[in-house]
Amino acid sequence: MAVERLERPRMLRLRAEMKVPGRAWLELCVEPTADGGALYRQRAVFEPHGLAGQAYWKGIAPFHGVVFGGMARNITGAAERAAAC
């Protein structure tokens, strides 16, 4: 992955460098909340190239919940542990 955009301290956009039928990004965002906490958001973006790209994205969609759910839990857990120190 390569950093495509960085807006400290709130947003990081990574561009996937793997060979897929399209272009892919992962966006990680943090927003302050009214209660002094923070809201973490992540988003996978895919720009398919043709039918192969559409088939690829639909084929891997069932795995997104597992992969990105685990990633979100790991990132927020690490942030909570760091904030507690």
Q: Show me where the domains of the chain are located.
A: 2-84
Model pTM score: 0.82
- Measured CA to CA, the distance from residue 33 to residue 11 in angstroms comes to 15
pLDDT in tens, the chain (85 residues): 899 999 999 999 999 999 999 999 999 999 999 999 999 999 999 999 999 999 999 999 999 889 999 999 999 999 999 988 8
Residue 68, Cα to own-chain centre: how many angstroms?
Answer: 7
